[in-house]
Amino acid sequence: MKKEKVLITGCGGMLGKAIYSVFSSKYESVLATDIDINESWLKPLDVRDLTACETVFNEFKPNIVLHLAALTDLEYCETHPEDSWLTNALGTENVALLCKKMGATMIYISTAGIFDGKQEEYTDFDLPEPISHYGKSKFYGETFIQKTLTKYFVFRAGWMIGGGLKKDKKFIKKIYNQIKSGKTELFVVSDKLGTPTYTNDFANSISKVIETDYYGLYNQVCSGTCSRLDIAIEFVRLLGLSEKIKIREVPSDYFKKEYFAPRPHSEKLINLKLNSRKLNFMRHWKVCLEEYSKIFKDDYYK
């Protein structure tokens, strides 16, 4: 077991579950925190509160800080911009400044949502042009860390998959909820493109990459690109429901009332730096989805 002390912020969500599982098995001392205490192993911390952050840093004295805390609901961020900026931007500032003060390595989770989607795909070196409050506040976090710290890692994720029945709030769970409720027809958009990112692979890869001390910014997504429609078709097939569930292809405008926040046409990321440094530990999204789908298949047929 490694002796470094690891602090995790925002560890109560779908990625937090995977991060905590990986890091608590590799490090002797892990302090997992969140504003929402939904697990017995979580301690309270609001990253917007600098005094609270200072107290945790001074008492725990972390060597490694994984900063997961963020507001990721695009619609909420658009309608609550101040809250979005306080959490995603100021909260990141607070953590970064304390990492600098303590000499701790900071790991920041960013997003493909920082791009405008005008290109088909993006490498680590393409210049972000965010179009939503969510994207803008997350990109601010990236730039602040890069200006403030030397010992940091920024990992950009794509469309997050993971968390299981309890924690998953993203696309797979939304599709599954419709199926579980008895719907036999699903309406899925085909004009949004991206790269799925499996939380388990993402967490495992972070733990390996940070051991190299090759600091910097990395795109880190599963291999293979797709549309939302592609994921839905594959998920339904893996559940063994292709004959029972009809999937209707629709444009994004079909859901413009529910999902009104601006979204890039393409959020495809390429792991250029990880590939060139032979540090890409992410599997193909279809392999990951097959593994992840077993949770839902077991629940559906129980």
Residue 61's pLDDT band (boundaries 50, 70, 90)?
A: very high
- What gap in Å lies between CA 115 and CA 94, rounded to an integer? 24
The pLDDT, as a whole number, for residue 258 is: 87
- What gap in Å lies between CA 246 and CA 183, rounded to an integer? 9
Tokens representing residue 275 in the block: 């590939």
Average the pLDDT over 51-56 and give the result. 98
The pLDDT, as a whole number, for residue 1 is: 86
Domain for residue 274, yes or no? no
CATH number of residue 172's parent domain: 3.90.25.10
pLDDT over 90, % of the chain: 96
Domain for residue 273, yes or no? no
Distances, alpha carbon 146 to alpha carbons 92, 134, 217, in Å:
12, 19, 9
pLDDT over 70, % of the chain: 100
- Give the Cα-Cα-Cα angle 33, 12, 155 (nearest 5 degrees): 85
Model confidence, pTM = 0.96
142-159 residue pLDDT tens: 999 999 999 999 999 999
Statement to judge: residues 86 and 148 lie in one domain: yes
Q: Is 135 exposed, middle or buried (0-12, 13-18, 19+ CB in 10 A)?
A: buried
Beta bridge partners of 57: none
H or E segment and range at residue 4 = strand 2-9
* 3 state DSSP class of 269: strand
Domain for residue 17, yes or no? yes
Average the pLDDT over 225-236 and give the result. 97
Residue 34 backbone phi and psi in degrees, to 5: -165, 160
Residue 302's pLDDT band (boundaries 50, 70, 90)?
A: confident
- What gap in Å lies between CA 50 and CA 56, rounded to an integer? 10
The pLDDT, as a whole number, for residue 189 is: 95
Statement to judge: residues 85 and 119 lie in one domain: yes
H or E segment and range at residue 285 = helix 285-301
Residues whose CB falls within 8 Å of the CB of residue 275, separated by 6 or more in sequence, listed in order: none
Residue ranges making up the domain that contains 54: 2-160+197-219
The pLDDT, as a whole number, for residue 57 is: 98
Statement to judge: residues 54 and 202 lie in one domain: yes
Statement to judge: residues 114 and 42 lie in one domain: yes
Tokens representing residue 190 in the block: 């085909």
63-96 residue pLDDT tens: 999 999 999 999 999 999 999 999 999 999 999 9
Dihedral (Cα; 140, 143, 147, 153), 10-degree rounding: 120
User: How many domains are contained in the chain?
Assistant: 2
Statement to judge: residues 8 and 136 lie in one domain: yes
